[in-house]
Amino acid sequence: MIQQALVTGCLALGFVLLVEGLALALAPSLVERLLAALRQLPVPLRRQLGLVALASGLVLLYAARGFTG
């Protein structure tokens, strides 16, 4: 059980690093504009967006875990 959780965590972290690295490599100016736009949002809204992203990620990981059996 613990081993499966570690594998899932490593896969999730690896996928996040892959996507973020790809975005930074292919469109660094777009990432800079996105970060500038995020700076314009109030802190509570940024926090809420982060919590929504966190919850969405957990749901996706749980769903993916269900597909593997």
C-alpha to C-alpha distances, 26 to 32, 33, 34, 56, nearest whole angstrom:
12, 14, 14, 25
| pTM flag (> 0.85) | no
Instruction: For 31-45, give the DSSP string.
Output: HHHHHHHHHHS-HHH
Task: State residue 33's pLDDT score.
Answer: 95
Task: State residue 69's pLDDT score.
Answer: 59
Domain tally, the chain? 1
For the stretch 7-59, pLDDT in tens is 888 888 999 999 999 999 999 999 999 999 999 999 999 999 999 999 998 89
Task: State residue 44's pLDDT score.
Answer: 97
Query: Is the pLDDT confidence value at 66 over 80?
Result: no
Q: Which domain holds residue 9?
A: 2-68
Query: Is the pLDDT confidence value at 68 over 90?
Result: no
